[in-house]
Structure 1
Amino acid sequence: MVHATAAIVSQGDEIVLGQTLDTNSRALAGRLMDLGIVPVEHVSLPDDEAAIAACFARLSSSVDLILCTGGLGPTADDLTRAALARAMGRPLVEDARSLERIRAWFAGRGREMPEINRVQAMLPEGAAAIDNDHGTAPGIAARLGRADVFCLPGPPAELRPMVERFVAPVLRPPAGRTVRTGVVHTIGLGESDLASRLKNSPRGDLMERTRMPLVGTTASGGVVSARVRYEGPEPAERAGAIVAGLVAHVRDLAGAYAFASEGAPHESLPAAVIEALRRRGETLVVAESCTAGLLGSMIGDVPGASVVFLGGVITYHNRLKVELAGVEAGVLEGSGGARPPGAVSGACAEAMASGARARCGAGWALSVTGIAGPGGAVEGKPVGTVYIGIAGPTGVIAGGVSSRRFAMGGDRRAVREWSARSALGMLWLALVGEPAARMLRQVDEVG
């Protein structure tokens, strides 16, 4: 049996309703691609035995491999076991070895196995149990139609070791077919802009669907990525070289907006910025209003950030903009009847950045101030209006400080996340020598 195609099934009301993010499907798809097995379908199903059984039956006639996650717990809404048995036309039977392992798992923690967990030792007649060394739910391996079926528990800490130890070693990708992938991440470019660059490449239309490798684009939270996939007869080393060469070309097309490619040690935008600062021996601080610490959190999520990240200030209230960031009161309140720029302005963003940089003794500073919504809009400044300031060496930033106005879309969360990433994008462009490069959602001042 050759596993040329696969389907990934994620089971659970919480996934269908969006209450839980399905990270398992992404991890499984990536692992299959590494092995040369192409996932052709992803399915999310509710806790409905009939629907799950019908899905198993349908997929078993169209793919060679089915990987199912979730629904193997001990409660009434864990229905994968029963659904698979229904699809196979077999009864559920108790697996004595699995039952003993579950009892031992509880005994090892000084507890007696609750009777409710006994159901986890049940599996369809003719199926085999897959050991779970990190939890109480054994997996299930079975044959259904033309497909090999592997049902695995949902918690990633249980699923991933089981895949590596028991599933991956028995998979049989097609001989003579290699699959290799690559990706280039960009910030500040729109998806249509990046697509235009790819279509008008000196090598021809890279997005033409008859080409190999295939190239496509995806967008998420301000980051637009070009994804490269080779699938063909070339040996793994040659296929990898083909993908690497095309990734390098795509990165050249994206120019300064490209901040990372797959396999790079610093693949995320915050990590790429931190590494660039580290190489320059420079430091960074932040001053945040509407993002309320989100920018600093993104930076602090990167291991080793403390090498360059000194910290920052959250100046949500105007008083703290004055006291902590050094913004002059006249910027916020005006004097002599003159209308001030206000807290949501380029003047305020620049004062926050330059003040934070000077007071914290950093090489660079980023600031964010804006209207995240849903309220707070004023004439000329609708919800989503955000100003981002950057202060740095005068040899890079003319005058040592500058700002940009952005029109962010979406709800409050989206505005804040886009603002934080755009701030990092501004710093990235400055660090690679393009501080004036125009960015996605950047708008010009009116009047």
Structure 2
Amino acid sequence: MKAEIIAIGNEIVTGNTVNSNASYIAKQIQTLGIIPKYHSAVCDTMQDIQEVLSKSLEHADMVFVTGGLGPTDDDLTKEAICGYLGMELVIKEDICQNIQAFFNKIGRYMPECNKKQAAFPRDAYILENKNGTAPGCILTKDKKHIILLPGPPKEMKPMLDGYVLPYFKEKLNCAYHTIDIKLFGIGESEMAERIAHLLGETEYVSVAPYVGDYEVIVRITAYGSNEKQAIETTEKIKNSVCECLGEYVIGYNQDTLENVILELMKKHQYTIATVESCTGGMIASTLVNCSGISAYFKEGFITYSNEAKKKYAGVLEETLITYGAVSEQTAKEMAEGIRLRTKADIGLSATGIAGPDGGTSEKPVGRVYIGIAFPDRTYVYELNLNGTRQVIREKTVKNLLFQLYRNLK
């Protein structure tokens, strides 16, 4: 079933409030095989609400509407939608009593205007609101479903999860499964070229590329008559994608580089130490995002000055004079030195020019060297990065962890 999500409210349209509800609803309804196809936002006017609803019902089987269920005169969602559908609103006394009980519970007087929140069509399926005064409802006409939900996320989310999803789960015979394949070290266009034969969308399967934070994602979504069928379909396509792009795969779904690295360190029982210049501690900070890293991460040093590089990592004065702090040779000595001095199995290093100043024609802003020292071999990589100072530093960390992951794997 195709769905549209409509946010009603001037504050949404003008950008004063971020529409987080749409993202949440879209993710949740997919678990039932309901496919979100369209998102809209509209002002609090009768005409605008009815116009967007009319268009939505032309191309969607289900319309999820958030906002405009409050007690004030500008809360017109029910009036506009029920007016368009030709459904009469009547005050339901039991709902009115529930609203009164809510006010009694918080020790406040219930204004007369709140009674409008108890007005619904006679055949509406009412959605209880345990976190506010605005109940929602499900309206059905001509085999189309219109779901009215309150705007505040703290009220909308429990209503959606507690009532709407169970309601439609009983009625729909469809299951959904999705897998995000996370890639690093390859651009979106090259990735799309390599798996062009797999990309695309049918009624039951979607394979699409997305760009994340310094990552490329291949999202596989499959719908089936049951969960097992949907999972089997996504797994089959995942295996095909990995056959084409396996060297760039860093994980799936909620995986992060640091988490998959931790799992590999556990497997091999490796310890690690870091020494950083341009990243200023970001490598160590990223690694310690992982719970359980304390058993494997020994020490971390920030050696911004040449004196610190010599003192803590054992970089030779001759190396710094001959090649400079930003060089392959210095990165190598930093990684090897910190590994030996901390008695770790792996030493990581980063030295470079993050900018916006300090670059030269020979060593421009964005030139970074990263080092990975193992007991039997040291790898050094030259990076030529672009972006702001912060972006260059973040890219350095990502590239270093990616190379560490590839070598550990």
Global fold match (TM > 0.5) = yes
Aligned to 1:150: 148
Aligned to 1:341: 324
Q: Measure the CA separation in 2 of the matches of 1:23 and 1:151.
A: 14
Aligned to 1:185: 182
Kindly provide the amino acid, as one letter, of the partner of residue 282 in structure 2. Answer: L
Deviation at 1:226, TM superposition (A): 1.9
Q: Measure the CA separation in 1 of the matches of 2:302 and 2:90.
A: 58
Q: Measure the CA separation in 1 of the matches of 2:90 and 2:76.
A: 7
The equivalent position to 2:261 in structure 1, one of 244, 267, 273, is: 273
Pairing 1:15-414 to 2, within 5 Å after superposition: 24-43=21-40, 45=41, 54-68=51-65, 81-89=75-83, 96-97=96-97, 99-100=99-100, 102-103=102-103, 107=106, 112-113=107-108, 122=117, 125-126=120-121, 130-133=127-130, 135-136=131-132, 138=134, 140-143=136-139, 146-155=144-153, 159-171=156-168, 177-199=174-196, 205-207=197-199, 209=201, 213-231=205-223, 235-262=226-253, 267-332=255-320, 334=321, 340-342=323-325, 344-394=326-376, 398=377, 401-414=378-391
Contact 2:175–2:227 (8 Å) recurs in 1 = yes
Kindly provide the amino acid, as one letter, of the partner of residue 96 in structure 1. Answer: C
Kindly provide the amino acid, as one letter, of the partner of residue 304 in structure 1. Answer: G
Change in Cα spacing, 1:93 to 1:360, as seen in structure 2 (3 Å) is farther
Contact 1:366–1:389 (8 Å) recurs in 2 = yes
Q: Measure the CA separation in 2 of the matches of 1:229 and 1:150.
A: 27
Task: Please give the secondary structure, in 2, of the residue aligned with 1:347.
Answer: helix
Task: Tell me whether 1:420 sits opposite 2:397 in the alignment.
Answer: yes
Task: Please give the secondary structure, in 2, of the residue aligned with 1:248.
Answer: helix
Change in Cα spacing, 1:48 to 1:300, as seen in structure 2 (3 Å) is farther
Aligned to 1:443: none
Change in Cα spacing, 1:323 to 1:5, as seen in structure 2 (3 Å) is same
Deviation at 1:121, TM superposition (A): 8.4
The size of the alignment, in residue pairs, is 398
Per-residue CA deviations over 1:196-230 (Å, capped at 9, x if unaligned) read 3323xxxxx22255696442222222222222222
Q: Measure the CA separation in 2 of the matches of 1:278 and 1:69.
A: 46
Deviation at 1:409, TM superposition (A): 3.0
- Between Structure 1 and Structure 2, which shows a larger proportion of helix residues? 2
Per-residue CA deviations over 1:268-304 (Å, capped at 9, x if unaligned) read 2221111111111112233333333333333222333
Structure 1 or 2, whichever has the larger Rg, is 2
Per-residue CA deviations over 1:161-217 (Å, capped at 9, x if unaligned) read 332211101125885544332232222222233223323xxxxx2225569644222
Task: Please give the secondary structure, in 2, of the residue aligned with 1:357.
Answer: helix
Gap regions ≥5 residues in structure 2: none
Kindly provide the amino acid, as one letter, of the partner of residue 382 in structure 1. Answer: P
Kindly provide the amino acid, as one letter, of the partner of residue 392 in structure 2. Answer: V
Task: Please give the secondary structure, in 2, of the residue aligned with 1:171.
Answer: helix
Change in Cα spacing, 1:173 to 1:298, as seen in structure 2 (3 Å) is farther
**Normalized against structure 1, the TM-score is what?**
0.73
Task: Please give the secondary structure, in 2, of the residue aligned with 1:35.
Answer: coil
Change in Cα spacing, 1:324 to 1:162, as seen in structure 2 (3 Å) is farther
Gap regions ≥5 residues in structure 1: 200-204, 433-447
